[in-house]
Chains A and B, each alone.
Chain A
Amino acid sequence: MSNELSTIEQHVLSDYKYGFVTNIEADEAPRGLSEDTVRFISAKKNEPEWMLEWRLKAYRHWCNMTIPHWANIKYPPIDFQDIIYYSAPKQKVTPKSLDEIDPELRRTFEKLGISLEEQKRLSGVAVDAVIDSVSIGTTFKAQLAELGIIFCSMSEAIREHPELVRKYIGSVVPITDNYFAALNSAVFSDGSFCYIPKGVRCPMELSTYFRINAENTGQFERTLIVAEEGSYVSYLEGCTAPMRDENQLHAAVVELITMDHAEIKYSTVQNWYPGDKQGNGGIYNFVTKRGICKGNHSKISWTQVETGSAITWKYPSVILKGDHSTGEFYSVAVTNNHQQADTGTKMMHLGKNTRSRIVSKGISAGVSNNSYRGLVHIGKNAADARNFSQCDSLLLGDKCGAHTFPYIEVKNNTAVVEHEATTSKIGEDQIFYCNQRGIDTETAVALIINGFAKEVMNQLPMEFAVEAQKLLAISLEGSVG
C-alpha cells in the first residue's frame, strides 16, 4: 500500500498525441459577440432571412440568461467577448472532390489517423470532416443520395433543404433551452445534417470528425438527424483537438428525431485535449444532446466514450414520447489529472410502455473529478414505463473523486424504476495478479479498465471499439504504479 501513492505520483500522462497546429489562413469574424457577429456569420454562410432571425432571437434570449452553476465543476469565468465566433479555412475555390482539398488540411487529418481516401476506399465509412467551422469534404454522398439519404453539412442543408431544417431545427432543443444551447443557436457555424427517408436502413456508419484548429476559436456545431418511419441509422462522432494553452470553448447542440419504428444509434468518441498535468489549457465542452422518440416503437441509443476535455458538461437525453419507445444511454467517462466531468443523461418517459436503460461507467484518476448526473422522469401518462440504471465508478489512486447524482421523478405508479450503483478501486491485488502472470502494469491496467467498460464498449460499432479501447488505455497511461 505504501508504494501506491508514490508510484502514482511518479508516473505522468503521456503528452497529447494530437497537439499540432495546421497553418492555414483563417477567415475570421472579429473577436467578441454582438448582433453584428451573428449577422456576420449568417451573411458569411449566405443564409436565408428566417435563419438569421432565428439566430438573432436566440442571441437576444441568451443576453438575458446567466451561466449555470449547478454542475459539479469549477472553472474561471468565461469571457464571451474574448472569443472568435467564426473561423473558416480560406480556400480559393470550393472543393468538388477530395483531391481539391488543401494539402495542409489533408495532412492534419492524416495525423489524426483519418485519411479521407482510406476511409473512402476501404472502410465504408462516410466522413463529413469538419475543420473549425466549415465542412471541407463529404464522401459517399452520391451513394447515400441514391437511397434518398441526405448527409451533408448544416450550412448546405440550410441552403439545399431549408424546409426540412426549418421544420426540425430547435424542435428538440429549443433556443431557450439553456445558456449554452442559446449561445449555440445564435452563433453555430456548421455541423452535420442527416435525413433518413421512410423505410430506409442506412447501409453504412455515418461519421463526423470534428476538429478545433484556430486559436481562441469557440466551436459551435449543430447536428440534426431525422429518421423517418421505419428507418435506421448509426452515426459516429469522433473528436480530437490540437494542444492549446488557452481554454477553448465548445458548445455543441445535437438533435435527434425518430418517427414510428425508426432507430438512431449515436456514438461518440471524444478525446479532446484535456489540459496538461497541472490543469492548464484544455477544452471546455458544454454540449446539449437530446433526442426525441416521436413515433411509437421508436428507439434512440446514445453511446459515449469521453476521455478528453478539461471540462465535460454533457447529458445526452431522450424524450420518450411515442408509446413503446426505447431510450438507451451507455457511457464511459474517463478523467485524469485535473479533468472534470459532469455527465449523465435524462430519460423523459411520456408515452406508455416506454423503456429506458442507463449504463454509466466513470473512471477517475489523478486529482480529477467524475460525476454522473442523471434524471429519470416518468410522466403521469407513462403507464408501465420501465427504467434500469446502473452507475459504476472506478477509482485509480486516492486523490480523485467519483460522484453519483441520480434524480428520479415518478408520476405514474405503474412504473418500475431500478437503480444500481457501485464504486470500486483498481486493487494492487489485481495488478499484482496480472504481473505474476507475466503482464506488465500498463497492460494490466488496460485489461482491468476495458473489463470495467466492456458493457459500454460492446455497444460501439466494431471498427471503433478497438480504437476506443486503445484510447482508454492511452488516457490512463501511467496513472497507476
Chain B
Amino acid sequence: MIKIKNLHAGIEGKQILNGIDLDIRPGEVHAIMGPNGSGKSTLASVLAGREDYEVTKGSVEFLGRDLLELKPEERAGEGLFLAFQYPVEIPGLSTINFIKTAVNEVRKYKGQEPLDAVAFLKLMNEKMALMNMDKTLLSRSLNEGFSGGEKKRNEIFQMAMLQPKLAILDETDSGLDIDAIRIVANGVNKLKSSDNAILVVTHYQRLLDYIVPDFVHVLYNGRIVKSGSKELALELEEKGYDFIKNENPTINEPAWTR
C-alpha cells in the first residue's frame, strides 16, 4: 500500500526526519511511537503533504504512485486520510456541508458523479449509526465549540464517510479521557478491513489497548530505531523511552525492514 524509503524531511532548514523506512500492506495496523520531538507528527504531516515541510531525500510510493508528487487534495483523492491531532475550526461552515463537499470532491477526483442529497443522506445515516454520532453535531459549525472528544469523533466520522485506503491517526488519543478513547477506537476498529490500512501515531501505549497494532515502530531522532509486535508498546510503557537510548547508545542500527 505505502512504501516509505529513506525519507528525509525538515522544516525551515531544520532536519527532522533522518531516513524513515516503512512498508505498510493492506489490512495491517501499524503504530509509530516515540518521545516528544522524535518526528511523529512531522511524518504524518509530510505524508499528508503539508507545504511547510520540505522533503530532502527519499521516496514514498502510495498505491503505485509517487505520493510526494501529489498535492494534498490529490493525496486525499487517492485515498490517504489524516485524522488531525488538532482539528481546525471553521466558523459558519456547517460540518455536514463540509463533509458533503469533501465526499463529492473526492468522488470528482476519482471520476465519479457527485452524490445527490438522498444518496448522501443515506450514506451519512449509515455511518452515523456506525459511529454513534450525534446528529446535532453535524449541523453545527465545523469543530467550533466541540469538546476534545467530539472533535476526534468527528475526525473518525469523516474517515468513515471518505473510506480511505490509508488512515493516519495523529495523536488521536491526546487530550481524551479513557471513555472518549474507547469510543473513538471502537469507531476505528469498525472501519478496519482487509483492503485498508491504519497508521497510528501516538505517544502513549493506552490507545493501542483498543486499536491493536500488528506492528509497533519506535521513532527516535527522526529514525525508526526499533520495530516489533504489539508487546514492544507494552515494554516501552513499562520502561520508558530511555530504555531505547540505553539499549542503542549509537542509535545506528539499520532501520526496520520487512
Task: Collect the chain B residues with CB atoms within 8 Å of residue A2's CB.
Answer: 12, 52
> Which A395-446 residues have C-beta < 8 A from chain B?
427-430, 432-441, 443
> Which B47-68 residues have C-beta < 8 A from chain A?
48-52
CA distance A440 to B73 in the complex (A): 6
Shortest A397–chain B CB gap in Å is 15
Q: Is the CB of B93 within 8 A of A439?
A: no
Q: Is the CB of B109 within 8 A of A429?
A: no
Q: Is the CB of B105 within 8 A of A432?
A: no
Q: Is the CB of A435 within 8 A of B49?
A: yes
Q: Is the CB of B93 within 8 A of A448?
A: yes
Closest residue of B by beta carbon distance from A424: B91
B31 contacts partner chain A, Cβ-Cβ < 8 Å: no
- Among A434, A436, A441, A455, the one with the most B-chain Cβ atoms within 10 Å of its Cβ is A436
Q: Is the CB of B91 within 8 A of A436?
A: no
Q: Is the CB of A448 within 8 A of B52?
A: no
B245 contacts partner chain A, Cβ-Cβ < 8 Å: no
Task: Collect the chain B residues with CB atoms within 8 Å of residue A435's CB.
Answer: 49, 71-73, 76
Q: Is the CB of A438 within 8 A of B88?
A: no
CA distance A451 to B48 in the complex (A): 25
Shortest B164–chain A CB gap in Å is 10
Shortest B128–chain A CB gap in Å is 18
Shortest B50–chain A CB gap in Å is 6
> Which A425-481 residues have C-beta < 8 A from chain B?
427-430, 432-441, 443, 447-448, 450-455
A1 contacts partner chain B, Cβ-Cβ < 8 Å: yes
Given contacts A429-B88, A432-B50, contact A438 B98 (CB under 8 A): no
Shortest B22–chain A CB gap in Å is 20
CA distance A430 to B99 in the complex (A): 14
Given contacts A2-B12, A2-B52, A433-B84, contact A438 B91 (CB under 8 A): no
Q: Which of B72, B76, B141 contacts A451 (CB 8 A)?
A: B141
Given contacts A2-B52, A451-B91, contact A438 B109 (CB under 8 A): yes
Q: Is the CB of A450 within 8 A of B93?
A: yes
How many chain A residues sit at the interface, stated as a range, is 20 to 34
CA distance A461 to B97 in the complex (A): 20
A contact patch SS: helix
Task: Collect the chain A residues with CB atoms within 8 Å of residue B105's CB.
Answer: 437-440, 443
Q: Is the CB of A433 within 8 A of B73?
A: no
Q: Is the CB of B52 within 8 A of A3?
A: yes
Interface residue tally for chain B (C-beta within 8 Å): 34
CA distance A437 to B91 in the complex (A): 17
CA distance A441 to B73 in the complex (A): 9
Shortest A362–chain B CB gap in Å is 15
Q: Is the CB of A427 within 8 A of B88?
A: yes
Given contacts A438-B109, A438-B162, contact A451 B52 (CB under 8 A): no
Closest residue of B by beta carbon distance from A437: B102
Q: Is the CB of B88 within 8 A of A430?
A: yes
Given contacts A450-B92, A451-B91, A451-B141, contact A439 B50 (CB under 8 A): no
Q: Is the CB of B101 within 8 A of A452?
A: no
Shortest B208–chain A CB gap in Å is 24
B87 contacts partner chain A, Cβ-Cβ < 8 Å: yes
Q: Which of A439, A448, A455 contacts B73 (CB 8 A)?
A: A439
Closest residue of A by beta carbon distance from B105: A438
CA distance A443 to B101 in the complex (A): 9
Task: Collect the chain B residues with CB atoms within 8 Å of residue A428's CB.
Answer: 51-52
CA distance A453 to B91 in the complex (A): 10
Task: Collect the chain A residues with CB atoms within 8 Å of residue B97's CB.
Answer: 447
Q: Is the CB of A433 within 8 A of B91?
A: no
CA distance A427 to B143 in the complex (A): 15
Given contacts A443-B101, A452-B91, contact A436 B76 (CB under 8 A): yes
Q: Which of A1, A427, A438, A451 contacts B92 (CB 8 A)?
A: A451
CA distance A451 to B141 in the complex (A): 8
- When each residue 81-109 of chain B gets 1 if its CB lies under 8 Å from chain A and 0 otherwise, what string results? 11010111011110001110110011001
Q: Is the CB of A438 within 8 A of B77?
A: yes
B202 contacts partner chain A, Cβ-Cβ < 8 Å: no
CA distance A1 to B12 in the complex (A): 9
Q: Is the CB of B50 within 8 A of A447?
A: no
Closest residue of A by beta carbon distance from B93: A451
Task: Collect the chain A residues with CB atoms within 8 Å of residue B71's CB.
Answer: 435, 440
Q: Is the CB of B90 within 8 A of A451?
A: yes
Shortest A396–chain B CB gap in Å is 14
Shortest B166–chain A CB gap in Å is 13
Task: Collect the chain A residues with CB atoms within 8 Å of residue B196's CB.
Answer: none
Q: Is the CB of A436 within 8 A of B12?
A: no
> Which A217-256 residues have C-beta < 8 A from chain B?
none
> Which B113-165 residues have C-beta < 8 A from chain A?
141-142, 158, 162
Provide 14 A-B residue pairs closer than 8 Å at the C-beta atoms, listed in order of the A residue: A432-B50, A432-B51, A433-B88, A434-B98, A435-B72, A437-B105, A437-B106, A438-B105, A438-B106, A439-B73, A441-B73, A447-B90, A452-B91, A452-B92
Q: Which chain B residues have a beta carbon within 8 Å of chain A's beta carbons? A: 12, 48-52, 71-73, 75-77, 81-82, 84, 86-88, 90-93, 97-99, 101-102, 105-106, 109, 141-142, 158, 162
Q: Which chain A residues have a beta carbon within 8 Å of chain B's beta carbons? A: 1-3, 427-430, 432-441, 443, 447-448, 450-455
The 5 closest A-B pairs by CB, nearest first: A451-B92, A451-B93, A435-B72, A437-B102, A438-B76
A432-B50, A436-B73, A451-B93 known, 11 other contacts, Cβ within 8 Å:
A429-B86, A432-B51, A435-B49, A435-B73, A436-B49, A437-B73, A437-B158, A447-B98, A450-B93, A451-B142, A454-B92
